[in-house]
Structure 1
């Protein structure tokens, strides 16, 4: 999968670009400052960079962007860099294009133009790599007996062509496991398309999956291909499948049964060959009983179930995962390892990864100590879960997406915990 590194000091811009690119099949790495950007470029296989020009409040000269551009170019000379810039840094952006930047876009950018640039330059970059230089897909990191048993099943399942339901808590690695299944299947060279159903408004889900003709609904200014068409011959991964509407469920059931569907606003039947992997953290059997999820669709999706245990249930994986996240340039002190092993990791692998990223930022050198992790309410062992949630909500003035990121949770998971503990966010953040 093509990986794009997005660098901007504005969390809302990072969120917007992450959603836009993820919806179009790209994997996104995010960085909010120079240090995170350089770390990401060093640790990951990056195919393209989208970079802002300023990172400190009040600075608008573009000098920071110029410095970072040169640093990234020295680190990854063949990786295309697209600059996003305010009009005040336009001259600097043009100067950097002359020095090798791929292109620049002014804020607010045009989504279509940005996607066209990304597609054009990631394809070009891919063609420049010969087969010997291409890295294999990321492998699963695990040492525990629980994961050894699961991965043995996943390998067997991958070689078949049946639909698979991946279950497990938020942040446990369901998308990663779906990647593994696809990459070890006979469809590995065909498209692998991902859709996060939890990130899509209900009214757009059907158009996203099945496509739409021009004028099919308000805002449909042109015909668009759906994810099933894009995944033809390959694999479609539907994350948070429990969010699909009953109408969407009926259409999905038909595709699974016949391979056929129509775009919204069209009578023309389209036929595809797609393997469906789906994932959920919800209890779909309970949803079936309650009537919010179709029983026949449940059994179509759940030909085989792969269940990912929580990180706390496979403690032998904690240190290997942490070592993977910090990379070879960093090391962990014994006290840091003890802290990691004693923490509950209610946000699972995602929480651990976020904690490691923060620890690298706060480490005084390349040796990470226990104190490097002590910069977030979620990492304070004296607080229970409700107190951590309340502390994060207070810190971020009730902004759910920022508090969720702090806690290593998805927004949906945070909302469920707020409901569980009956937290009055408005009263808490007055």
Structure 2
């Protein structure tokens, strides 16, 4: 346990006893023997918690000095937790200060176990609060960067909130103006074509066509004809000449999806186009020129395919001048709920339980799977609050679940079982205490000011 506590008590023995108790649990402390010295120390030394006496005069039991000190601390540090120590002070004064925001009050002589538990919980809460504040600041900075991206570049309405996707989008925009080939990598359904479209929309050929071809969806014998075109009679069934995708993409962008499925013969011809800009239709000797910008994509490990001899090394390096890696949805979980709400488009609503279910699901099918789940739920439960049952997510093994993201009910149940002891509840959930505090904050389960 780490933290820093300011003790304000005019009795040196009290200060020494508290300092010793805290030091045994790795908690640093500072001691001031008067309200004035305490406020001066508060202005000089960063602390996480104040333990203050309520009386600083032997001839009064009103607690006026303690009340004035508490209010001064509140003014100087509104969010700093304060524990009140009471001896002969009127109990009503301490209760009023708890209502005004004091964290707790303890009678002198205090119970070491209770005092220590109170201090540790408050320090953990302060640590979790700081962590949340850092996270919120980072999220705000990320939102500002993403807004700046959207203001400067054409993003085609792409929805994202995660830092991982922001990095991929920023790189795509950065390389869009150049004319070098770009390889977009990532699992199926992660949004590779959307990234390719962003590259085109911000490129020098943005006014030209954007032609997408899924190499994996074409029969092997037709891939060359699809890419380069074919003259009449070039193959069985070719009754007339046809143009290919390179010709259609002239002056624009040609997006070659699933490039790893391209057979070796097609790889040779593609390499020639990348090197010279020239190609021939299938069955023709007339050379044609292509000015298409090449963006390719794959969910395969092309390096491994090069090692296995199924993908040309020279073509790999031609295509992979710049690589934009699109992370799986499970690796950018901050995008899950914004994407789901975008797909819902107001047709239904997500409650907390529905959000938790979406967030906990591993999404092996990525954004495509999420869209299908949301479309189905919106169709079957229009205008309703979508529950986990309405989302009908596939069951997943316990080991595959996101253990550090328990549902609200799980958190409430663990806290009840642990009788409110956060460290015990966290252990039961497999979380650190800080992680549980963050989850409690998200669910609105943290005690408000003045809660004993």
Correspondence 1:151 to 2:169: yes
2:48 matched to which residue of 1?
Answer: none
2:224 matched to which residue of 1?
Answer: 206
Distance in 2, matches of 1:366 and 1:195, equals: 39
Deviates more, 1:332-341 or 1:358-367: 358-367
Kindly report the root-mean-square deviation, in angstroms, between the aligned alpha carbons of the 2 structures: 1.6
| Alignment match of 1:331 (pick from 326, 331, 349) | 349
Distance in 2, matches of 1:343 and 1:206, equals: 40
1:306 matched to which residue of 2?
Answer: 324
Correspondence 1:379 to 2:394: yes
2:240 matched to which residue of 1?
Answer: 222
Distance in 1, matches of 2:345 and 2:383, equals: 14
Could you tell me how far 1:328 is from its partner in structure 2?
2.6
Could you tell me how far 1:166 is from its partner in structure 2?
0.3
| Alignment match of 1:166 (pick from 169, 176, 184) | 184
Distance in 2, matches of 1:382 and 1:164, equals: 38
Distance in 2, matches of 1:147 and 1:177, equals: 10
Distance in 1, matches of 2:206 and 2:348, equals: 33
Contact kept? 1:363, 1:369, Cα under 8 Å: no
Distance in 2, matches of 1:138 and 1:357, equals: 21
Could you tell me how far 1:148 is from its partner in structure 2?
1.5
Q: Following superposition of structure 1 onto structure 2, how do residues 62-77 of structure 1 map, counting pairs within 5 Å?
A: none
2:208 matched to which residue of 1?
Answer: 190
Contact kept? 2:277, 2:289, Cα under 8 Å: yes
Distance in 1, matches of 2:341 and 2:235, equals: 49
Distance in 2, matches of 1:138 and 1:324, equals: 14
Distance in 2, matches of 1:188 and 1:232, equals: 12
1:232 matched to which residue of 2?
Answer: 250
Correspondence 1:342 to 2:338: no
Could you tell me how far 1:384 is from its partner in structure 2?
8.5
Could you tell me how far 1:330 is from its partner in structure 2?
2.5
Distance in 2, matches of 1:161 and 1:250, equals: 21
* Structure 1 residues 269 and 373, CA gap change in structure 2 (3 angstroms): same
Could you tell me how far 1:329 is from its partner in structure 2?
3.4
Could you tell me how far 1:172 is from its partner in structure 2?
0.7
* Structure 1 residues 340 and 233, CA gap change in structure 2 (3 angstroms): same
Could you tell me how far 1:383 is from its partner in structure 2?
8.3
Could you tell me how far 1:382 is from its partner in structure 2?
4.7
Could you tell me how far 1:143 is from its partner in structure 2?
0.7
Could you tell me how far 1:344 is from its partner in structure 2?
0.5
1:290 matched to which residue of 2?
Answer: 308
Correspondence 1:244 to 2:244: no
Q: Following superposition of structure 1 onto structure 2, how do residues 26-425 of structure 1 map, counting pairs within 5 Å?
A: 138-363=156-381, 365-374=383-392, 379-382=394-397
Distance in 1, matches of 2:309 and 2:230, equals: 28
* Structure 1 residues 357 and 176, CA gap change in structure 2 (3 angstroms): same
Distance in 2, matches of 1:341 and 1:369, equals: 13
Distance in 2, matches of 1:225 and 1:384, equals: 52
Distance in 1, matches of 2:216 and 2:243, equals: 20
Could you tell me how far 1:364 is from its partner in structure 2?
5.3
Distance in 2, matches of 1:336 and 1:299, equals: 44
Structure with the greater alpha carbon radius of gyration: 2
TM-score (norm 1): 0.56
CA deviations on 1:287-321 (whole Å, 9 max, x unpaired) are 11111100110011000000011111110000001
Distance in 1, matches of 2:380 and 2:399, equals: 24
Secondary structure class of the residue paired with 2:205: coil
Contact kept? 1:310, 1:348, Cα under 8 Å: yes
Contact kept? 1:238, 1:276, Cα under 8 Å: yes
Could you tell me how far 1:137 is from its partner in structure 2?
6.9
* Structure 1 residues 228 and 384, CA gap change in structure 2 (3 angstroms): farther
How many aligned residue pairs are there? 247
Contact kept? 1:210, 1:225, Cα under 8 Å: yes
Distance in 2, matches of 1:349 and 1:329, equals: 19
